[in-house]
Structure 1
């Protein structure tokens, strides 16, 4: 953790909804005039799309049916840790972009599924913002979770997570339902070993829970809407959280435990604004004092 160079990390599985949380933070940064270095976790995959397919085929031929983007072998965990460590100490670091589709790839004259070159982060940023799969990963070799000043987990209940991934990959990426299902099955051991354990390190978790039937996510035609969901928000350390203020500001909210508030799905962004804006204020105040600007 660093007062001069704070780090916020959003972590969650593919299809969990981390990009929605990122948009909320970007709105806060814009409103509060905070210049943040924004890094996507996909930039720290080890292999580009073609190479990953080749490595998966090789793994399957060797009898490994579970080689996936969630695991250590397919990611640069050491590079994520190095980025967080360097930024916390100096406000600098390096990153690159993973070009998901033709639209993202066009400005770089590259193929979709490739990486741009490594480049330094923008200068003079007030904080680092990471969004991806492994913002709180801990293994015997690396401890990424110890660096962020704010760690946020995005964890829909598993059936909803699968529905969101199926819808996104089918409608936005052109994959078949069978291909997405195969991906989910292949990733399951790494999901258990690398994704789930991160949420014991997060400071705040957002878990969207549908209130409609999602018993068979593989035949669901639609993603449950915000109005068809509740959001469970759990604080690892509730000290300093004004729950009564949140209850007064968010209609339909209630407390399920001493450290947990439940809000209507349509109020998730409002809840994030109310919860995280004071976090940003405190980070910026500590930073100004540490830099002697207060």
Structure 2
């Protein structure tokens, strides 16, 4: 009998595995969990967007003179209650916030999947929320990158004018620094995004960034899925520049490893990792990366992050889990 794949083990598990992603609006939170969604599929992954738990609509916030970044502008107690119930396998009536109109729609029934992703501004803000998370990620783009992304998103997808977006960013900055940025200290992993070291034009024209993945040390690596990057392929002459560096550093008074990637990497260099994850998850080849000659630094980090999350699930379910995600002790 063949051994069961990770995806089969996940589907048959009684545990709801929770991934918390925090960061500013427009910081790329959804992008860096894209590989997890693609690998596991919509039948095993569900996402809770914390904007749905705003306490006030857009008009009410303007009248009150507050931004969504202020914790009291959000019903974090209801959020924690709903996540707790979802982790217990229950369904909830989830509120719905419509970004186009800035108003609330009627609540909808929402059922948990085996992987539950929480994305928003205050994902780690309270101890009760942190205690519900099995894995945590903070996305931390440089101000220049954040400005570029937020302009692109809010103008193209939400219908704002450039002047409105820039004015809102200026208004929100003090609240970001007070309420959102400090949550970074609670994250298992932090992703920092900067314009490419190969030049700002490379970032603007090709969407190439310098991406650093900060990680707490692993307790152990599972044998099911190894993290394999083919150094030989990296060393081969390529028509696209790429750099990779590693260091041990301190971030928020914590010792963390830091992998920095920049440029575009030949797909062949991470083919083994993609195939291994594909075999284990029944997503052969990992469709996000199929039929591509090169991958950007950000896409490689997505795949490394997916590997780290899978590794975490194995550690948690093997009976060797050493505590809740946010206790301050190190884990896989």
| Class of the TM-score when normalised by the shorter of the 2 chains | 0.7 to 0.9
Equivalence map 1:178-193=2 (5 Å): 178-193=163-178
> Larger helix proportion, structure 1 or 2?
1
Please tell me whether the aligned partners of residues 154 and 160 of structure 2 are also in contact (alpha carbons under 8 angstroms).
yes
Q: Distance in 2 between matches of 1:18 and 1:250?
A: 30
Aligned to 2:247: 256
Match of 2:116 among 118, 125, 128: 128
Equivalent residues, number: 256
Are 1:7 and 2:18 an aligned pair? yes
Aligned to 1:226: 207
- Superposed CA RMSD: 3.3
Q: Distance in 1 between matches of 2:221 and 2:53?
A: 33
Q: Kindly provide the CA deviation profile for residues 82-103 of structure 1, in whole angstroms up to 9, marking residues without a partner as x.
A: 22333334454442322223xx
Shift of 1:191: 0.5
Please tell me whether the aligned partners of residues 221 and 311 of structure 2 are also in contact (alpha carbons under 8 angstroms).
no
Q: Distance in 2 between matches of 1:245 and 1:19?
A: 25
Q: Kindly provide the CA deviation profile for residues 141-167 of structure 1, in whole angstroms up to 9, marking residues without a partner as x.
A: x54222210111111112211222123
Q: Kindly provide the CA deviation profile for residues 68-111 of structure 1, in whole angstroms up to 9, marking residues without a partner as x.
A: 1111121112122222333334454442322223xxxxxxxxxx
Please tell me whether the aligned partners of residues 227 and 304 of structure 2 are also in contact (alpha carbons under 8 angstroms).
no
Aligned to 1:53: 62
Pick closer, same or farther for the CA change 1:172–1:72 going to 2, 3 Å. same
Q: Kindly provide the CA deviation profile for residues 196-236 of structure 1, in whole angstroms up to 9, marking residues without a partner as x.
A: 0111011111111113677xxxxx9x857432x21000002
Q: Distance in 2 between matches of 1:224 and 1:160?
A: 13
Aligned to 1:108: none
Runs (5+) with no aligned partner, structure 1: 57-66, 102-111, 215-219, 290-294
Higher RCO (Cα < 8 Å, 6 or more apart): 1
Q: Distance in 2 between matches of 1:206 and 1:224?
A: 22
User: TM-score, length-normalised on structure 1?
Assistant: 0.74
Q: Distance in 2 between matches of 1:128 and 1:143?
A: 16
Pick closer, same or farther for the CA change 1:276–1:205 going to 2, 3 Å. same
Aligned to 1:39: 48
Q: Distance in 2 between matches of 1:287 and 1:117?
A: 37
Pick closer, same or farther for the CA change 1:122–1:169 going to 2, 3 Å. same
User: TM-score, length-normalised on structure 2?
Assistant: 0.66
Are 1:18 and 2:29 an aligned pair? yes
Runs (5+) with no aligned partner, structure 2: 1-12, 235-242, 250-256, 264-295, 320-332
Please tell me whether the aligned partners of residues 4 and 286 of structure 1 are also in contact (alpha carbons under 8 angstroms).
no
What SS does structure 2 have at the residue aligned with 1:264? strand
> Larger strand proportion, structure 1 or 2?
2
Please tell me whether the aligned partners of residues 203 and 237 of structure 1 are also in contact (alpha carbons under 8 angstroms).
no
Please tell me whether the aligned partners of residues 97 and 105 of structure 2 are also in contact (alpha carbons under 8 angstroms).
yes
